[in-house]
Structure 1
Amino acid sequence: MQKEVLIHVRGLQMMDAQGDQEPIEIIVPGQYYFRNGSHYLRYEELLDETAEPTINYIKVSGTGLEVSKKGLVNVHMVFEQGKKNMTYYTTPYGTLQMGISATNLELTESEENLQIKADYALDMNEEHVADCYLAIQVQPRDCKDFVL
């Protein structure tokens, strides 16, 4: 796969009590690397028009998925199937303790395409708050047909 890519990130949080859903979706240019058996992605995201961009790093390997954000928010999330991983999510408004329990991880790869899917339960301060879904689609930047 080429180094310069388009990254399509879709996420959905299904909140418990109210049944509310919080979808997110972005399509951004980014960079792709493959090293030592792992796929790496890097892209910038504007969370607030007045702030510096947040740099996102994604690593996919045989052991799981890692998502790191550095900037307005800071977090290092680790998704390993059947295991709960704890982390701290730091924002300008404070820090939250998060638990991530991946229930399903999928990686589909071809020469010109990479698809990553994760289903996980999200805890905040030791309480289950949402069941979540994350899908990441990666294609060459010059691809005319962005398929989901």
Structure 2
Amino acid sequence: MTKDVLISISGLQMDVLEEEKEYEPIEVVAPANYFLKNGKHYILFDEVTEGIPGITKNRIKITGEDTLEVMKSGVSNVHMVFEKNKKNLTYYQTPYGQLLIGIHTKEMEVEVSEDNINVKVGYILDVNHEPLADCQIRINVKSKDAGDFQITKNMDF
């Protein structure tokens, strides 16, 4: 994998109280930098929040096949840890205030090849110890030098 990559993150949240609703995923695509250090994959990129001045710096760390960390600093601040079959608590600082969030990771798949990384995560999100949503995240990291330059491999939910 080269240092210059393109990251695509697609997320889907399904309200735990509404079963029959149609949900649309939210997707972010950004240029990023990739590093491999001590067997851990790091992806760094900046994010702009619509309607709010400033940027949020993002760092994603993938450790093996069962741990994903997402760290944000700037407009929003959080350190989210997704560990398969575990629940982690963290504070999420937003421009509108701070939230205590719980992340109970139910499933995680990590596929790494020479020019591509795919991560799929399924988790339950709670806010202030109240169940909020069943969530899914799909992350695709693709080397800019890869011959087949598609944004996603398969981001279907």
Query: In which range does the TM-score fall when normalised by the shorter chain?
Result: over 0.9
Q: Which residue identity lines up with residue 42 of structure 2 in the other structure?
A: Y
Alignment of 1:1-148 (within 5 A): 1-19=1-19, 20=21, 21=23, 23-62=25-64, 63-143=66-146, 144-146=148-150, 147-148=152-153
Shift of 1:115: 0.6
- In structure 2, the residue corresponding to 1:44 is in which secondary structure? strand
Q: Is the 8 A contact 2:124 2:135 kept in 1?
A: yes
Using the alignment, how far apart are the partners of 1:95 and 1:65 within structure 2?
A: 22
Q: Which residue identity lines up with residue 15 of structure 2 in the other structure?
A: M
Using the alignment, how far apart are the partners of 2:14 and 2:81 within structure 1?
A: 20
- In structure 2, the residue corresponding to 1:51 is in which secondary structure? coil
CA-atom RMSD in angstroms: 1.4
Cα deviation digits, residues 44-68 of structure 1 (max 9, x gap): 1111344111111000002500001
Any gaps of 5 or more consecutive residues in structure 2?
none
Q: TM-score if structure 2 supplies the norm length?
A: 0.89
Identity percentage over the alignment?
45
Using the alignment, how far apart are the partners of 1:85 and 1:122 within structure 2?
A: 10
Q: Which residue identity lines up with residue 11 of structure 2 in the other structure?
A: G
Using the alignment, how far apart are the partners of 1:39 and 1:123 within structure 2?
A: 27
Change (3 A) 1:50 1:103: closer
Q: Is the 8 A contact 1:5 1:29 kept in 2?
A: yes
Q: How many residues align?
A: 148
Q: TM-score if structure 1 supplies the norm length?
A: 0.94
Using the alignment, how far apart are the partners of 1:99 and 1:22 within structure 2?
A: 22
Any gaps of 5 or more consecutive residues in structure 1?
none
